[in-house]
């Protein structure tokens, strides 16, 4: 009987059946400690002054509105059509990484995690995830594209690469 149930977010992006929802539930395990792919937590500098500007607060406040309904994961065609659950994090987890990466007090670098393990480059920014977000989070514009820009700046900008090599960060 469960296989006969149909889930539909809107008329354009129907889910196949309960199995698709169960895949989304399995994807939630990325947040759990026992999963192979775990997003490192917020890591501030020791002895940090906890004062940040309003612009920085506003930048990450949108991501904190996420209610973890995982609708964005369900409509993402990379996960739904191509079944790349093992190699692509998906919009929800990229939003989580973006919220940490853009936090002014966080010191941990997660860009290699997003590109190597999370396959950030697979997202072709169709904005399906943004359209279904019940909280109105602009996932593509405010999380995924800025992460992609940071990766491009870090890995492919010749001036940044030269400066990193001079500082010994290679």
In this prediction the pTM is 0.72
CATH superfamily of 13-42+52-167: Alpha-helical ferredoxin (1.10.1060.10)
Report how far residue 53's alpha carbon sits from residue 14's, in angstroms, rounded to the nearest whole number.
Answer: 42
52: left (phi over 0), alpha (psi -120 to 50) or beta: beta
Structure confidence by residue, pLDDT tens digits, 139-154: 999 999 999 999 998 8
Q: Which of 102, 20, 96 is nearest to 55 (CA)?
A: 102
Structure confidence by residue, pLDDT tens digits, 27-82: 554 444 444 558 889 888 888 888 888 988 888 899 999 999 999 999 999 999 99
What's the distance, CA 126 to chain centroid? Answer: 15
Residue 106: strand pairing partners:
44
């Amino acid at each position: 009987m469960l296989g006969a149930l149909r889930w539909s977010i809107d008329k354009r992006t129907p889910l196949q059946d309960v199995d698709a929802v169960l895949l989304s539930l399995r994807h939630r395990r990325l947040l759990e400690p026992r999963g192979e792919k775990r997003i490192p937590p917020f890591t501030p500098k020791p002895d940090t002054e906890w004062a940040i500007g309003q612009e920085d607060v506003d930048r990450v406040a949108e991501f904190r509105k996420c209610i973890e309904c995982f609708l964005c994961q369900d409509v993402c065609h990379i996960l739904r059509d191509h079944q790349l659950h093992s190699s692509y994090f998906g919009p929800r987890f990229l939003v989580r990484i973006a919220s940490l990466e853009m936090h002014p007090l966080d010191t941990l670098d997660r860009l290699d995690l997003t590109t190597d393990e999370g396959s950030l480059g697979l997202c072709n920014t169709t904005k399906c995830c943004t359209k279904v977000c019940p909280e109105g989070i602009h996932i593509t514009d405010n999380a995924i594209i800025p992460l992609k820009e940071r990766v491009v700046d870090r890995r492919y900008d010749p001036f940044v690469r030269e400066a990193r090599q001079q500082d010994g960060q290679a």
